[in-house]
A and B are shown apart, each in its own frame.
Chain A
């Protein structure tokens, strides 16, 4: 089994290095094919491992020791258990699909090989993140995915907006990673180990305050990676990157790393329910908050990004309330349909020559039949309609909220579910139905390549059937996660809830269709309203960050640059240099080669030596008196 583990882990790395060799050369189809095959190999190995884990066994290997100093022992250890195999399956499935998809999507791009190198490197980092058996390895993967995310958001680095977005994502993540790092330090400080099993075994003996600190700092890291409020702004801006990247990194895998961390640290969060409640509340808030922003946005990819944010909120609600398996299940289901949604959006974008405004599209149903079907499927799944994947996972989260008696959270999530349905189908209606508005702008849409559509089909199938794995999945994963089942006691209430939710969501879908299917022009009246302005400006949070954090920071930096760096540091260095230079300038007269002045200097030196001789002679002669005086001063 170890062999499969290593294949799953390292074949993406091999792919990254292989494509990296051709990074500077023009497009070679070979890199795409080889990398996709290597990813497929990784996927197959993960599948084998899944089968092995389903039999109730786990794989735990220690590849080699990494840091062994004093009491600190950190190996390169990898574990394949019920949690990590889930993540591995999600990562390899989505990334294989995305790799194949990218062959078509990046067809005309100059950086084709570079793209595949980065993409495979990302998958490797993500695998390290999920498979590591200790916090240090997790952190390496964590930073690795951050780096690859930066590389890929700024993939089109000649675009200023892309580099800006990349830097924003990277810097925001650094802020959070500092918290994460402190959390890891605290874990080591208090438990003496970074191995998950050892650290969590010691944790029950620690006092509540310490656990609270560890939990808070680790969660700050999770907040950054999963773009939770107030570090959420980078995710929408990250859509500057190529669409396959958005699908893989900023929807399906990397952003869920925060959820994975909370799930992985479930023994810790189980001991601090207050923190869990906070996580759940924040999750619910973000779910609602992001959904409202998605309602009015006019950028196709940003709408999907906000929906990702919103769904991450759902996952955190589940994780915060202790329903870790539900969170992980939603993570999995979400990865499938959200990646599908993004890839579909990528097809649309490709057809529209990079246009992102859904108001300029419409009626694409005819020319892009398969993309239409898949995106509709993904949207239905996202909305949570029976029997698609979203229904099972999202409904479970709602039930958790209800059963745990957090009715506020439940209500918020229910409303958000309605909004989700609304904005999803607003998008579908605007893109695929109604008049063909794109004709005004001179676009000639075409369906994507066949193999791209075929590559997307596994995701479409999974988006439909993922819900049916629920019980199998529950059996598997609850071997190491708390196996709380959430059943509403009264059957009547349960059915009322399910049917009510379904009706509410379907109503929202119909509303969206009614409003946008015959979309004629923008509603100027609506755009003047305060609500619209607040929402389209993302609650003025980017503005706030710009005005109250970036600008003062820039001014402070300018002050430090002008005042401290130039007037103190530089001036000191210059002063030393000038002093030496002037001293040299003045003393070079000594070496002017004139024998007469040299003689004079020689005599001067003699005088100095003589004076020293006199001084020391006197000092020796009057040593006793001098020491008496000195001791008198000292006493």
Chain B
């Protein structure tokens, strides 16, 4: 009973938050709604007994990723209104709904379920964090290390890409200066 109430509550909340994210025109609204949605998602993880995953979700997404986005947004002129629409929104909505319907159809038709086999069973008597640790450092050790290297590479890449010419900001430059800079860029591109 409690599970059902929690599931439906968080389902509605997540869906609404994500819907706001993809539809709102204000970047700040979108960012906030996304962060909220992320936290609501972690609730499902707790319901499902994946405590460690839930904690990671909150830390990584709402802590790290959202902070990164927030800082990133400072570089951009987010107040500038973008003309969002081109083409038919009917097609866009139709395509996403169709894909959802098809995926659900695939789930409903019991095609895959009978063929699933347990490869990493839960360890009896261990907590979720303990069992995650055991599996992660035995069976998935190599992917785990690779992921770590990948994160390092991503970090360096992010710093290098964003860090060039940190001393000048387009938001602080006058229109003429931007024009001159763009002209120079165009020549480089040509």
Nearest residue, chain B, Cβ from A596: B86
Contacts of A621 in B (CB 8 A): 109, 111
Q: Does B106 contact A (CB under 8 A)?
A: yes
Residue pairs across A and B with CB atoms within 8 Å: the count is 35
Known contacts A600-B95, A603-B95, A607-B99; decide if A617 and B87 are in contact (CB<8 Å): no
A597/B111 in contact, CB under 8 A: no
Verify B102–A611 contact, CB threshold 8 A. Answer: yes
Interface pair A614/B105, CB less than 8 Å apart: yes
Contact with A along B100-116 (1 / 0, CB 8 A): 00110110010100000
CA distance A597 to B99 in the complex (A): 17
Q: Which chain A residues numbered 604 to 635 have a C-beta less than 8 Å away from chain B?
A: 604, 606-607, 610-611, 613-614, 617-618, 620-621
Which of B87, B98, B106 contacts A607, CB < 8 Å?
Answer: B98
**Cα–Cα distance between A596 and B92 once the two chains are bound (Å):** 11
**Which of chain B's residues have a CB closer than 8 A to the CB of A620?**
111
How far is A576 from B87 in the complex, measured between Cα atoms in Å?
Answer: 31
Q: Given the complex, which residues of B lie within 8 Å of A600, measured CB to CB?
A: 87, 91-92, 95
Contacts of A603 in B (CB 8 A): 95-96, 99
Interface secondary structure of B, over-half rule: helix
**Which residues of the partner chain A approach B91 to less than 8 Å between Cβ atoms?**
600
Docked Cα-Cα span, A603 to B86, in Å, equals 16
Interface residues of B in 148-167 (CB under 8 A from A): none
- Interface centre among B96, B102, B105, B111, by most A CB within 10 Å? B102
Q: A597-B87, A600-B87, A600-B91 are in contact. Are A614 and B102 (CB under 8 A)?
A: yes
Once the chains are docked, how many angstroms separate the CA of A600 from the CA of B89?
11
A103 to B87, CA, bound (A): 85
Task: Tell me, rounded to whole Å, the shortest Cβ–Cβ distance linking A606 to chain B.
Answer: 6
Per the bound structure, the CA–CA distance linking A610 and B102 in Å amounts to 6
Whole-angstrom distance between the Cβ of B126 and the nearest chain A Cβ = 37
Interface flags for B68-105 (1: CB within 8 Å of A; 0: not) read 00000000000000000011000110011011001101
Q: Which residues of B contact A613 (CB under 8 A)?
A: 102, 106
State whether B111 touches A606 (Cβ < 8 A): no
**How far apart are the CA atoms of A414 and B43 in the complex, in Å?**
127
A606 and B99 within 8 A (CB): yes
Q: How far is the CB of A463 from chain B (nearest CB, A)?
A: 92
With beta carbons under 8 angstroms apart, the residue of A596, A610, A617, A618 that contacts B99 is A610
Closest to A604 in B: B95
> By the criterion CB–CB under 8 Å, are B111 and A617 in contact?
yes
Bound-state Cα–Cα, A617 to B106, Å: 8
> Are the CB atoms of A607 and B102 closer together than 8 Å?
yes
Bound together, the chains give a CA A633 to CA B102 distance in angstroms of 30
Q: Which of A596, A604, A606, A610 contacts B106 (CB under 8 A)? A: A610
Q: How big is the B interface, by class?
A: 10 to 19
CB-defined contacts of A596 to chain B, threshold 8 Å: 86
Considering only CB atoms, which chain A residue lies closest to B99 in the complex? Answer: A607
- B95 — nearest CB in chain A belongs to which residue? A603
Interfacial chain B residues near A618, Cβ < 8 Å: 109
Query: How far apart sit A584 and B95, CA to CA, in the bound complex (Å)?
Result: 24
| Separation of A613 and B95 alpha carbons in the complex (Å) | 16
- Which residues of chain A are near B96, meaning CB under 8 Å? 603
In chain A, positions 91-141 with a C-beta closer than 8 Å to chain B are none
User: Bound state CA distance, A150 and B3, in angstroms?
Assistant: 102
Bound Cα distance from A21 to B102, whole angstroms: 79
How does the 8 Å CB contact mask read for A585-603 relative to B, with 1 for contact and 0 for none?
A: 0000000000011001001
| A603 and B102 alpha carbons, distance in the complex (Å) | 13
Q: Of all chain A residues, which has the CB nearest B105?
A: A614
Docked Cα-Cα span, A397 to B109, in Å, equals: 102
**What is the chain A residue whose CB lies nearest that of B109?**
A617
Among A597, A607, A614, A617, point to the contact of B95 (Cβ < 8 A): A607
On chain A, the residues within 8 Å of B106 by CB distance are 610, 613-614, 617
CB contacts (< 8 Å) of B92 on chain A: these are: 600
Q: Which residues of B sit under 8 angstroms from A617, Cβ to Cβ?
A: 106, 109, 111
**A617 to B112 CA separation, bound complex (whole angstroms):** 10
CA distance A596 to B89 in the complex (A): 13
Task: State A378–B109 Cα separation when bound (angstroms).
Answer: 107
User: In the docked arrangement, what's the CA distance between A600 and B86, Å?
Assistant: 11
A490 to B87, CA, bound (A): 114
Q: CA A613 – CA B111 in complex, angstroms?
A: 11
Taking the closest CB of chain B, its distance from the CB of A622, in whole angstroms, is: 10
Report the Cα distance A306→B76, complex, angstroms. 103
Tell me the bound Cα distance from A610 to B111 in angstroms.
14
How far is B108's CA from A617's CA once the two chains are assembled, in angstroms? 11
Which A490-524 residues have C-beta < 8 A from chain B? none
Across the interface, name the chain B residue whose C-beta is closest to A603.
B95
Q: How far is the CA of A614 from the CA of B87 in the complex (A)?
A: 28
B112 — nearest CB in chain A belongs to which residue?
Answer: A617
* C-alpha gap A611/B99 in the complex (Å): 8
Contact flags B15-28 to A (C-beta < 8 A → 1, else 0): 00000000000000
**Complex Cα distance A614/B96, Å?**
16
What separation, in Å, do the CA atoms of A611 and B109 have in the docked complex? 13
- Interface-central residue, A600, A607, A620, by most chain B CB under 10 Å: A607
Residues of A within 8 A of B102 (CB): 607, 610-611, 613-614
Instruction: Kindly list chain B residues whose C-beta atoms are within 8 Å of the C-beta of A614.
Output: 102, 105-106, 109
Please give the distance in Å from A291's CB to the nearest CB on chain B: 90
Provide the residues of chain A in CB contact with B95, threshold 8 Å.
600, 603-604, 607
Chain A residues with CB under 8 A of B103: 610
Minimum distance in angstroms from B86 CB to a CB of chain A: 7
Shortest distance in angstroms between B34's beta carbon and chain A's nearest beta carbon?
19
Q: What is the distance, in angstroms, from B169's C-beta to the closest C-beta of chain A?
A: 25
In the complex the two chains form, what is the Cα distance from A618 to B91 in whole Å? 26
CA distance in complex: A597, B111 (Å) = 33
A1 to B86, CA, bound (A): 95
Contacts of B87 in A (CB 8 A): 597, 600
User: How near does chain B come to A85, taking the closest CB pair, in angstroms?
Assistant: 87
Q: Inside 8 A of B105's CB, which chain A residues have their CB?
A: 614
A37 to chain B, nearest CB (A): 76
Which residues of chain B come closer than 8 Å to A597, judged between CB atoms? Answer: 87
Residue of B nearest to A618 (CB): B109
Q: Which residues of A contact B109 (CB under 8 A)?
A: 614, 617-618, 621
CB distance from B16 to the nearest CB of A (A): 23
* Docked complex Cα distance between A408 and B59 (Å): 126
Interface membership of chain A positions 54-96, coded 1 if the CB is closer than 8 angstroms to chain B and 0 otherwise: 0000000000000000000000000000000000000000000
Chain A, range 147-201, C-beta contacts under 8 Å to B: none
User: Which B residues lie within 8 Å of A610 (CB)?
Assistant: 98-99, 102-103, 106
What separation, in Å, do the CA atoms of A621 and B106 have in the docked complex?
12
Distance, CA A166 to CA B63, complexed state (A): 97
In Å, the complex CA distance between A596 and B82 comes to 14
Question: Which residues of B lie under 8 Å from residue A611 when comparing CB positions?
Answer: 98, 102
The residue in chain B whose Cβ has the minimal distance to the Cβ of A616 is B111
Give the residue name and chain of the B residue nearest to A617 (CB).
B111
Write out the residue numbers on chain A whose beta carbons fall within 8 Å of the beta carbon of B111: 617, 620-621
Task: Give 3 closest A-B pairs by Cβ, nearest first.
Answer: A610-B102, A603-B95, A617-B111
6 additional contacts, CB 8 Å, given A618-B109, A620-B111? Answer: A600-B95, A607-B95, A610-B98, A610-B106, A614-B106, A621-B109
Report 6 cross-chain contacts, Cβ distance below 8 Å, ordered by A residue: A600-B87, A600-B95, A604-B95, A607-B99, A610-B99, A613-B106
Which residues of B pack against A, CB within 8 Å? 86-87, 91-92, 95-96, 98-99, 102-103, 105-106, 109, 111
A residues lining the B interface (CB < 8 Å) = 596-597, 600, 603-604, 606-607, 610-611, 613-614, 617-618, 620-621
